[in-house]
Each structure stands twice: as C-alpha cells, then as structure tokens.
Amino acid sequence: MTDDIIIERAGALGRIRLNRPKAIHALTADMCRAVLDALGEWADDPSVEAVSIDHAEGRGFCAGGDIRLIAESSASDGQAARDFFRVEYSMNHRLFTFAKPVVAFMDGITMGGGVGISQPATFRVATENTRFAMPETSIGLFPDVGGGWYLSRLPGRMGQFLALTGHRLDGAECMALGLATHYLPAGALDEAKRRIAADPRGIEALLADLSAPVPEAVILAHRETIDRLFASDRLEEILDALDKDDSNFARDQRKLLATKSPQAMKVSLKLLLDGRAMPTFEDEMRQEFAVAAHVVQRPDIVEGVRAVIIDKDHAPRWDPATPQAVSDHLIDRIFAPLPADEEWNPA
C-alpha cells in the first residue's frame, strides 16, 4: 500500500481516494496496483455494493500519470515506463469490466490518467470546476488509458479535435459530449458522497436529486467547424484545411498544433481511426500498450517533458520535426504488435 491513495470501506461502499495533492493526484504504479488489488477484492465480496473514486484533498481530481518516470525511463531502456503502463492499463481494464456500479467525481483537473480512471465509471460526475483534457501531444505522447476507445466514440470529429489539440472541456461541455453523466455543484459533493455511502444502491437517484441545471456547452458552437476542419484522418490534410480557413478559430488551432509533436499527432489520429472499430476494450488496451512500448523508445517524450515540465521553455525540438517527416512506415512500426511474451494482457 501507499500513502498516496486511501482505500477504505464505508459500509457497503468501497472508496478509492487519490491522495497525492502536491502532484494533483497524478498516478504512480503503486497507486494503480492498490486500485487493482482493491477492485479484485471487492469484486468477489458480496458486502460491497458499489465503488466511488474521488480525491481526498487539494485541487484537481487527477492530473495524469507519472510523466517524469516515463520520460526518465524513455531516456534509458524504457523498461520502467512499460512496467508503469502495464499496471495502469490493467487498472483501466478492470474498471471498465467491473460488474458493480462505480461513481467517479471529476471535480477539478481531470486529465490523462484521470480520464482513464473516470471514463470507465458507471456514473461520472462533473462540476463547475471540471477541466477535462487529453493533452498528451504536448509532451510527445498520445491519448492512452483508453483514449483511442473513448475519444473515437464522441460525436462527429470532436475526438480528433480533442486528441490533437488537448483542448480543455469544462463540466457543461463534458455533459454535452457524454463524458459526464451528471452535473453537480461542487458544494453539493460532500452531501452526495454522504448519501451514497449510506445507500450505495441508490446512486443514480441520489445524483439526479442533487444535480444542478447544466450551463451552456460553449464547444457546441464550434461543432460544425470542428467537423469540417478536422474531417481527415491525415494530419497534413487537417493542417491544410486550417491554413485555408480565415476564421479566428482556425488560426488559433493551427497555431496550437504547430507546438505539438508531429509524431504524436499522427499516432493519435491512427489510434482513433483504429479505436472506432476495435472489437473490445481489451483489444484497445493491448494495442495502446504496444504503441506506448514503441513510443517510449523514441525521443519525443523526453524532449516534450523537458520543454513543458522540467525546463518549461515550451520550445520542444521534435524528432521528426515536421509532419511530412513522420513517414507512414514509422507509424506502422509504432503500431506493430509486440511479441507474444511482451504484449499486454489483463491482470
């Protein structure tokens, strides 16, 4: 066990509480193992009727995964990064297949790994504080933890837009896109958690009772434009469409994409293209693990983390440096299946 996560029982409710506030509850391998173990125990325990996931204190629900570890490992042999992804993806899969109701409280920053532990939940609660994003292309990674599954199933080309840009959605926008099931005022969360602990079987009715009117979803005003500009599964065609559009929205997105890893953007587009037709979530996680295992042997993660998190100069030197230099052959190599003894399988 680790002090970075609190696993406890409240009557018939199993509670998972992220407790790493200085890192906005970013997930470590030990935290993921603790969740895996708890879910394994509770799945076979008839006295546990439901599970809740939230953060114990501080701001934000979960800012992602252990990015520094991934970058440091990528600078060497990548083994520690692969070990982290293996246990994290097993946790994601176990949540996705968990038979009992799960409620996740996405109050505050919900990014990367935070998306991975909230989206499998039966009930996903957003608030006025929610800031939901998959910003991985900024650091040379891709929207993993099931991102290829979830984002590819959003309406229109919204998933491709979010995957490439890392755009942050608020709670109302999460509701509009189906990423959240309920919208509660942040001030009502303590009461919601108290009631759920007292009556885990009544989660849906309790959340409905405490829900607030959902504000306007601003992103929907851009939906037709996003569908048009991000219509292609080829990055060069998306960039060309943005270049030819004289709207402020298009100019803003083009400027933003110029800062992202070209390799990561092409990986993300193929991930969503494949993800839409993926037969099962297990198949999705197996492919994402293979992609991650190959990506951590490439230079962009080390450079992206340096530019965004360590030096914070926000001037990454991507390799390859341009979309044209990211060949189809390179993408095929990144998506190549792993040998049977190295591939990911559910825990």
Instruction: Point out the catalytic residue in the list 64, 65, 114, 146.
Output: 65
Is residue 114 among the annotated active site residues? no
Q: Cα dist. 33→17, 69, 99, 157, 292 in Å?
A: 14, 16, 19, 34, 19
Per-residue pLDDT tens listing for the chain (347 residues): 579 999 999 999 999 999 999 999 999 999 999 999 999 999 999 999 999 999 998 889 999 998 989 999 999 999 999 999 999 999 999 999 999 999 999 999 999 999 999 999 999 999 999 999 999 999 999 999 999 999 999 999 999 999 999 999 999 999 999 999 999 999 999 999 999 999 999 999 999 999 999 999 999 999 999 999 999 999 999 999 999 999 999 999 999 999 999 999 999 999 999 999 999 999 999 999 999 999 999 999 999 999 999 999 999 999 999 999 999 999 999 999 999 999 999 98
Tokens of 126: 């957003």
> Which listed residue (14, 113, 146, 166) is catalytic?
113
Tell me the residue range of the domain where 216 lies: 5-334
pLDDT score recorded for residue 1: 58
Q: What's the pTM value of the predicted model, to 2 decimals?
A: 0.96
* pLDDT (0 to 100) of residue 347: 86
Which pLDDT does position 249 carry in this prediction?
Answer: 97
Distance CA 7, CA 87 (A): 17
- If one counts the domains in the chain, the total is 1
Length of the chain: 347
The answer to whether position 340 is within a domain reads no
pLDDT recorded at residue 114: 97
136 is catalytic: yes
- Domain-embedded: residue 347: no
- The CATH number of whichever domain residue 20 belongs to comes to 3.90.226.10
Instruction: Identify the active-site residue in 66, 107, 144, 170.
Output: 144
User: Which residue out of 54, 136, 173, 274 is catalytically annotated?
Assistant: 136
Asked whether residue 245 is domain-assigned, the answer is yes
CB 199 within 8 Å of CB 207: no
Query: What is the per-residue pLDDT for 2?
Result: 75
